[in-house]
Structure 1
Amino acid sequence: MVTGLGFSSGGVQGGTLDTQLKPNPCSECVMDDTMKKISILTGKETFQSLKPLDLSVCDKQQILAYFNNSYDLYESLFTSLKDEKVFYLCPDRLRLPLVFYFAHTAVVYVNKLVLAGLLKTRVNLEFETMFETGVDEMSWDDTENYRMGGSYKWPTIESVVDYRRQVRNIITNIIEKTPLELPINMESPWWALVMGMEHERIHLETSAVLIRQLPVDMVTKPSAWMYAPVKHDKGVNGNTNMHYINATDVTMGKPEDFPSYGWDNEYGQVTCHVPAFEASKFMITNGEYLEFVKDGGYNRKGLWSQKGWQWKEFRQLVHPVFWVCTKGCNNGCGSNLSTISHCEAVDNNNGYVIDDELGSPSFRYRVMFDNIELPLDWPVEVTYHEAKAFCAWKGSGYRLPAEAEQHVMRGPQKSPAVGTECDMIHQDTISANLNLQYGSSTPVNLYKPNTVGLYDIMGNVWEWNEDHFNGFENFKSHHFYDDFSTPTFDGKHHLILGGSWISTGNEASRFARYAFRPHFVQFAGFRTVRNLDENKIELPIRIVTTDVFVLGEGVTGNSIGLDETKTGFKKVDSTNYQYTIDTDAALYGILQLEFGIREGYPEMLSEYCLIMGNKYNSGKGNCAVFGSGAGKIVFILKKYYDTVLGVDAFARYIQAATTLQETRRLSITSPTGDEKEFLLDQELQTDNVCFKQLTWIANEIVAHDLILMTNLHRLQNPKAWLLRLWEIVKMTGIVVIFSMDNQWKENDLLPILSPNLSCIESEVLEYQTLSGIQRSTVTVWKHHWCHHHHTISR
């Protein structure tokens, strides 16, 4: 899944780790054909998954067993790569090489345990920066390694395995030595440890998706891996008869006190009415989708949305990604795999049968490690765009389900009040293709239908939904992982529900909610639904209509797969608070605040920082401003510091700052419609200044002499930013926290900062704005040891 969105523009990378990363010199040999396969396991090979933890009653032995099982499962998956060279390949051009993901999960354990205070010393900061942030591709033509420049030299597999072994041993020691208080809840430091386990299980699935996209001769099936039968009983007769579902009300959302781990987007609550509808009894199978392909579905523009067609043409797709033909199709791989096709021309001796009527080969199918005959009764795996084109081909009124409809299709559920027994993944016997019962999809009729009469509502493959991904009412992000969900509440990510055959732990929970962009390759399929009323009807489909500004692109249209003239849906604001307040009006307001008064807020605060820096000998080397706004305060501070880094979560602000850096002027339309120009004084320097849009303080931000934070009042989760300040200020440096809304005073900050920092100054500053005199609280902080040393020396 997504962690941070990092962008930089202009100047040098002063104050960030970008220019300080030093690739392992041994990495030059990673593509050496003479390399031999080494053991990558730091534990044992297994493909058997344990049940998730009940956090109200679990003991240390159970926690350790679940941790080791998570770690072992993940490493065991990578034993399928034939040699080390494959770790450095990109199975998907929109993703990073596999070595990144192999190291990433161990790094996330460390980073979260440091935030929680369970780990006091880092294992390897270089790794914990290099492998920290994954990619949620924001456009179709992103290329792999976009953060690393494309030619980055990754560390050796030996060093990554050694790192994973160190992390395993450290976590084992933490579990054994740290006092355990039950229940483990969101405020417990143990929450960070369980978070690491569930995060690793997410990547078990997403890494499997990548490995399945590799050329088949680069992988080998582990001996314990078992595919499902291709067919069950007499086979599937298709979805010719839709299944009637009664109208009802449904409430969605996980209680905060439920005794299992959950991601932030699962909590909160939404209640809505679901009108009666019809649903396909089975998920759409490969056999059904084959009819769409044979009917020219990939060549009929009228069946596709505008964006869907653009994506299909860009990828040159003529069939689903895990189908195999003989036409040499574009495979979407990256780097030196980009010219390789999974669809190579072969003759009949290799098992392909020519369909004389179509004049083209029949399709084969890529399971994890082999090509087999196309299993017609297994669910098809496609993107949202492909699923929507199929619905259009199927006929008027066909669409994908709403999230609320998907919940109704599950039938009556036990109340969460009974505890974990209400959730299938916690039960001893699971009657669904979940939790690695098989190493593949299964026939859609293999498991019995539920009480509603529908098959595979949970498991087999994920189901695409019409809804945009968004938080429920009263959504709150968690301070250990503030940006797990929020960047994707942008109206461009669609929900997937129900889990797949490789979904384990939280992913397989009844409460799990995940989402991807509509062109994303995943173990996801779909079923069709249809309204009973041919007239326009209001449906419980939640569509995010917030205009989200993307750096370098501006406001782009949201991914709406419904015709508003025929289908009613609920328009909602993004529950990412920062998206809703990053507006043109807000940008105009910050420009007026910074440039509207000659000696205003930026001048006052910069002078105060200089005075405090001199007073406490914090040096003049590098400075970082969190809440850099339109950048004026950054440019002023550059007069006193060698390099200055400006960070903001608002894309509009960062774009304005970089424009001022490049041209020294910015024109903007005011809320009243007038054109207003803002100019940067010639005396202010713009070199050695860098601006970044970040959703939290990532490890790429190194230690600074001065940290100025001004943006607490407009952050989704201020605590998530505050927790990292002690790591990014030098032992002799200072942190200045300016509370523009006076909500963050010394007593508010002490519980968060006091484990590592001491408050050495606290006062109220006055400054002039266009609306009059403003007063704001400012506090100054230093490391405990340095504060003590400074006091003694005075």
Structure 2
Amino acid sequence: MMATTHVLTGKYRTTGMAPLDLSSCSKGDILKYFEASYDLNESLFVGLKDEEAFYKCPDRLRLPLIFYYAHTATVYVNKLMLAGLMTQRVNLHFETMFELGVDEMSWDDTENYRMGGSFQWPPLAEAVEFRRLVRNRVRQLIEDTPLQLPITQDSPWWAVMMGVEHEKIHIETSSVLIRQMPITMVTTPPKWKYAPASTDTTIQENPLIQMEGGEVTIGKPRDFPSYGWCMEYGQRTFKVPTFEASKFKVTNREILQFVKAGGYENSSYWTKEGWTWQSFRQLRHPVFWVCTKGCKSGCGAALSSHSHCLPEYFTTTYSDKEIRQNSNGPQHGDLNGTRNGPQNGDGCLPDFRLRVMFDVIEMPWDWPAVVNYHEARAFCAWKGSEFRMLTEAEFNMIQGGALGAPSKGVTSDPVFHKDPQANFRLTFGSSSPVDLYPANDLGFHDVYGNVWEWVEDHFNGLPGYKQHHLYDDYAFPFMDGRHGLMLGGSWASDGTYNSRFSRSYFRRHFYQHAGFRVARTLPGAGKSPVVMVNTDVYILGAGVEEKQLTVPETVGLEVVPMASTNKQFHQETEEQLAAMLALQYGNSGQNYSKDLADFCVEKANLYGCPLQNVVQLGCGTGGVVYQLARTYKEVIGLDYCARFLDAAITLQKNREFHLPRAVTKTEKSMTKDVITVSIPADMQRNRLTFKQMTWVPNEIPKANLVLLDFLDRVNNPKAWWLRLWEIVTDNGIVVVISQKVGKDELAADLNKKMDLLDEQEFQFNNGQGQTEITMATIWKLRV
């Protein structure tokens, strides 16, 4: 019985479809692609037994499933509004509530809810109606908007494709989360088809194949005619020496030996970060394996005491459920048989079973193991000091030459092939045997699909990386050295998500449908390059956290240090903080902050604006908002720079902030200064709220005054510019302090919604006794 079929606003669907060639697609093609993606995402939620399951949290680091059900519809609206294709919102309340997910930066935050563990989510029926309304609006938009080919990153249609491909990412995310739900809360939907447990040949060995060294270039050409995410573009060439890599991805049978050898209890196999995580989670085996020992659950909130590892999951036989017969291979073996793996000594129960999407099944030992980066790294260390995972460059080398150069167009990407001979696009609703599909021309199986492959590199942008203004924060906040890189896609990857160019990133402790392949550097062949981010990243409230920049010399890798391609991280220095403090608090109170606050109040009075609330985008260390709080009753200061915000928040709490200056060493002496700034006792500190944001989300309320004064230091000015008209009240003004306005398309974009009231030079004291001049523009909503 399925109690949640009413979550469908379209058709029930269990498989994906090939992506679009953006140089030749029609409106009909785009509409079909959109509908298929929308249908497939909703169809996953049919597998939840009742509405109560939507409000449960399958992972303590994620939100309840109701969020993921509605989130993708919200992104459609928000991105189409930014692109100008949609001019009226569907439901701003929902488009705010379901806009932002969790902050996944910390693995030990037991209830990492952005909105708080007691947040009241709306009834499911309202979320279903919201998705229905969004579907209809997007469908109408596709039908009514003129289409000009090719669709490029500069085209408004790019926003449509962005919404579709974002939904496909969440098809995979939601499938992982549903797989983590208690088995009693899910039911197998109609036509859901798992892969066979094995082929006719049991995989007892996983030989290493020698790969000759050479040169490899990574990166998607900007004119390639398919949708791409920002971190796929750019280009980097590596010289890779000869190496070996396993023919198959590491299987459950191989991981079993690691488990039996006590690998999960032996800290010597784990990195420092990995062992800290393992000590917290207390895993005895991979997370989707099921045993009888009541292992600690990773679920959150009301499910935190749940265990997936209970004896009752071994007492039912497969025949108690509908026998799944699939057309692509043999059905699973009998639970009480011995074909697919070992049993306990008494011959009654197998050692382990496997949780798949909606069932607990007999362990398919020939499927690839699903693990996180820490487990993969520990397995390699257990296997031998010279073993490791592939690097990104090596992974690109084992893709083989059969596809040809990207210049050939879409035929060079396997996701466009009608019969790709790989397990992706939900051909099956599960992993499949590692030998089910033929090897590529180099002898490697499953280079695409089945499960993602963790590689050793840190996630970072490629040279030439540039954010797209419609989704400015998609990837760059995670180029911090704490996120791992996954390649190749999985069985649940749809659309372009498992393209040959796809580069996916997660914290190393996170779970996706991901595994790995064992690699080894050959003696005397030279070391393979592995990219690691060496930029220190300051975390709000935590400071600079240690990260691992090296790998053991025994594994034959050469670390290629690379600065984070997130340029904003490079502003997180004490020198930049000292400069901002001098600007905003220097020169005995006659400084930038007071000058700018006085200027804004003067303009507000001139144009008859209320003096109730203000939002400053680019508040730095808070100097301007403290001055504005003398006049305005509610003030929000927003910045992306954690060091700046830490100083602002400390001032709000203590009225003083102290910054020890770097030590200055000369031949004769060594000195150390302390910068001290303070705010007067009569400052209205209770009127202030500080937020760290990398763009302007819907949660930023409308204000009588919107002050934007940091365009000259952001990565992507247009991303901050596009929503100004939505966060100012009808009777308010926007004040922009920047030399950039008028020099590019920014003014033209805002002119579509607002009128320019004034443009003049703005003079201010830079905090060091000098006067500087920049430009100020004042804007008002067009009536």
Shared fold by TM > 0.5? yes
Which residue number corresponds to residue 456 of structure 1? 446
Matched, 1:629 2:626: no
- Is 2:462 the partner of 1:465? no
Structure 2 counterpart of 1:266:
232
Given the superposition, is the C-alpha separation of residues 677 and 534 from structure 1 closer, same or farther in structure 2, using an over 3 Å criterion?
farther
What does 1:367-446 align with in structure 2 at a 5 Å threshold?
367-412=356-401, 413-446=403-436
CA contact (8 A) 2:82 2:723 kept: yes
Distance 1:319 1:468 in 2: 25
Task: Name whichever of 545-554 and 38-47 sits farther off.
Answer: 38-47
Kindly report which structure 2 residues correspond to 1:331-346, keeping only aligned pairs within 5 A, or say none.
Answer: 331-346=297-312
Distance 2:571 2:553 in 1: 26
One-letter amino acid matched to 2:772: Q
> Which deviates further from its counterpart, 593-602 or 743-752?
743-752
SS for the counterpart of 2:481 is coil
User: 2-side partners of 1:269 and 1:567: how far apart?
Assistant: 21
Q: What SS does structure 2 have at the residue aligned with 1:692?
A: strand
In structure 2, distance between residues paired with 1:347 and 1:163: 37
Match of 2:173 in 1: 206
Q: Deviations over 1:436-465 (max 9, x none)?
A: 111111110111111111111111100001
Counterparts in 2 of 1:61 and 1:81: CA distance versus 1, 3 Å: same
Whole-angstrom CA distance in 1 between matches of 2:681 and 2:184: 61
Aligned 1:125-164 pairs, distance under 5 A: 125-144=92-111, 146-164=113-131
Quote the Cα distance in structure 1 between the aligned partners of 2:35 and 2:629.
49
The 3-state SS of whatever aligns with 1:109 is: helix
Cα drift, residue 745 of structure 1? 3.9
Residue in 2 that maps onto 1:647 = 638
Query: C-alpha displacement at 1:90, in angstroms?
Result: 0.4
1:278 paired to 2:281: no
Q: Deviations over 1:537-592 (max 9, x none)?
A: 44321100110011111100124461268642100010011012221111111001
The within-5 A match list for 1:329-728 is 329-346=295-312, 349-350=315-316, 355-356=344-345, 362-412=351-401, 413-533=403-523, 537-560=526-549, 562-563=551-552, 567-598=557-588, 599-671=590-662, 672=664, 673-728=672-727
- Residue 253 and residue 358 in structure 1: after superposition, are their counterparts in 2 closer, same or farther (change >3 A)? farther
How far, CA to CA, are the matches of 1:744 and 1:348 in structure 2?
66
For residue 338 of structure 1, what is the amino acid of its counterpart?
S
1:747/1:561 CA distance change after superposition, 3 Å: closer
Corresponding residue number in structure 2 for 1:328 = 294
* In 1: Cα distance, 2:21 partner to 2:62 partner: 34
Measure, in 2, the Cα distance between the counterparts of 1:181 and 1:259: 14
Q: Report the residue type matching 1:397 in the other structure.
A: E
Q: Verify: 1:79 aligned to 2:46, yes or no.
A: yes
Query: Where does 1:71-220 land on structure 2 (aligned, <5 Å)?
Result: 71-144=38-111, 146-220=113-187
Cα distance between partner residues in 2 of 1:772 and 1:688? 31
Aligned mate of 2:757, from 745, 752, 760: 760
Distance across 1 between alignment mates of 2:270 and 2:546:
17
Letter in 2 for 1:180: L
Shift of 1:406: 0.2
- Hey, what's the Cα distance between the residues in 2 that align with 1:359 and 1:656? 63
Tell me, yes or no, if the aligned pair for 1:90 and 1:144 is still in contact at 8 Å: no
Shift of 1:37: 4.3
Instruction: List alignment gaps of at least 5 residues for structure 2.
Output: 318-335, 337-341, 665-671
Partners of 2:593 and 2:745 lie apart in 1 by 24
Report the Cα distance in structure 2 between the residues aligned to 1:166 and 1:51, rounded to whole angstroms. Answer: 26
Letter in 2 for 1:751: A
Q: What is the deviation of 1:233?
A: 2.0
Q: C-alpha separation between the residues in 1 aligned to 2:660 and 2:553?
A: 31
Whether the aligned pair in 2 keeps the contact of 1:328 and 1:344 (CA below 8 Å) is yes
Which letter does structure 2 place at the counterpart of 1:384? Y
Cross-structure match for 2:339: none
Corresponding residue for residue 667 of structure 2: none
The total of aligned residue pairs comes to: 747
Secondary structure of 1:115's aligned partner? helix
Q: Indicate conservation of the 8 Å contact 2:4/2:47, yes or no.
A: no
Distance in 2 (alpha carbons) for counterparts of 1:695 and 1:751 = 23
Distance 1:549 1:314 in 2: 24
Any conservation in 2 of the 1:235–1:445 contact (CA below 8 Å)?
no
Q: Which residue of 2 aligns with 1:16?
A: none
Percent identity, aligned pairs only, is: 49
The 2-side partners of 1:502 and 1:698 are apart by: 29
Structure-2 residue corresponding to 1:28: none
Query: How far apart are residue 356 of structure 1 and its match?
Result: 3.6
3-state DSSP of counterpart to 1:507 = coil
> 2:741 matched to which residue of 1?
744
Counterparts of 2:312 and 2:745 in 1: how far apart (Å)?
69
> 1: CA distance between counterparts of 2:313 and 2:509?
32
Q: CA RMSD in A?
A: 1.8
| Equivalent pair of 2:3/2:49 in contact (CA under 8 Å) | no
| CA-CA distance at 1:277 after TM superposition | 0.5
Shift of 1:677: 1.4
Return the offset for 1:401.
0.8
Amino acid at match of 1:288: E
- TM-score (norm: length of structure 1): 0.92
Tell which deviates more after alignment, 525-534 or 685-694: 525-534
Amino acid at match of 2:741: W
> C-alpha displacement at 1:533, in angstroms?
2.4
Offset of 1:141 from its aligned partner?
2.3
SS of the aligned residue for 2:470 comes to: coil
Deviation of residue 596 (structure 1)?
1.6
How many Å apart are 1:38 and its aligned residue?
5.6
Distance in 2 separating the partners of 1:188 and 1:776: 32
User: CA 1:439–1:348 in 2, change beyond 3 Å: closer, same or farther?
Assistant: closer
1:675 corresponds to which letter in structure 2?
Answer: V
- The amino acid of 2:604's aligned partner reads G
CA contact under 8 A between 1:457 and 1:498: conserved in structure 2?
A: yes
Would you say the 8 A contact 1:96–1:144 is kept in 2?
no
- After the TM superposition, which of the residue ranges 764-773 and 275-284 deviates more from structure 2? 764-773
Which residue number in structure 2 is paired with residue 249 of structure 1?
Answer: 215
Say if 1:36 and 1:366 are closer, same or farther in 2 by CA, change over 3 A: closer
SS in 2 for 1:494: strand
Cα distance in 2 between the residues matched to 1:573 and 1:776? 31
User: Cα offset for 1:215?
Assistant: 1.1
Contact 1:746 1:779 in 2 (8 A): no
CA distance in 1, matches of 2:232, 2:221: 9
Match for 1:405: what amino acid?
A: E
Deviation at 1:681, TM superposition (A): 2.1
CA deviations on 1:73-114 (whole Å, 9 max, x unpaired) are 001111000110100000101000000000000000000000
Partner secondary structure for residue 643 of structure 2:
helix
Superimposed CA distance per residue, residues 232-269 of structure 1 (whole angstroms, 9 cap, x where no aligned partner): 12221322x31100011011111111110000001111
Report the CA distance between 1:772 and its aligned residue.
2.2
Maintained 8 Å contact 1:74/1:204: yes
Equivalent position of 2:331 in the other structure: none
* Contact persistence 1:388–1:561 (CA under 8 A): no
Contact 1:577 1:716 in 2 (8 A): yes
Gapped regions of structure 1 (runs ≥ 5):
1-34, 786-794
Distance change in 2, residues 1:348/1:663 (3 Å): closer
Residues 572 and 642 in structure 2, CA contact (< 8 A), matched pair in contact too: yes
Kindly provide the amino acid, as one letter, of the partner of residue 579 in structure 2.
G
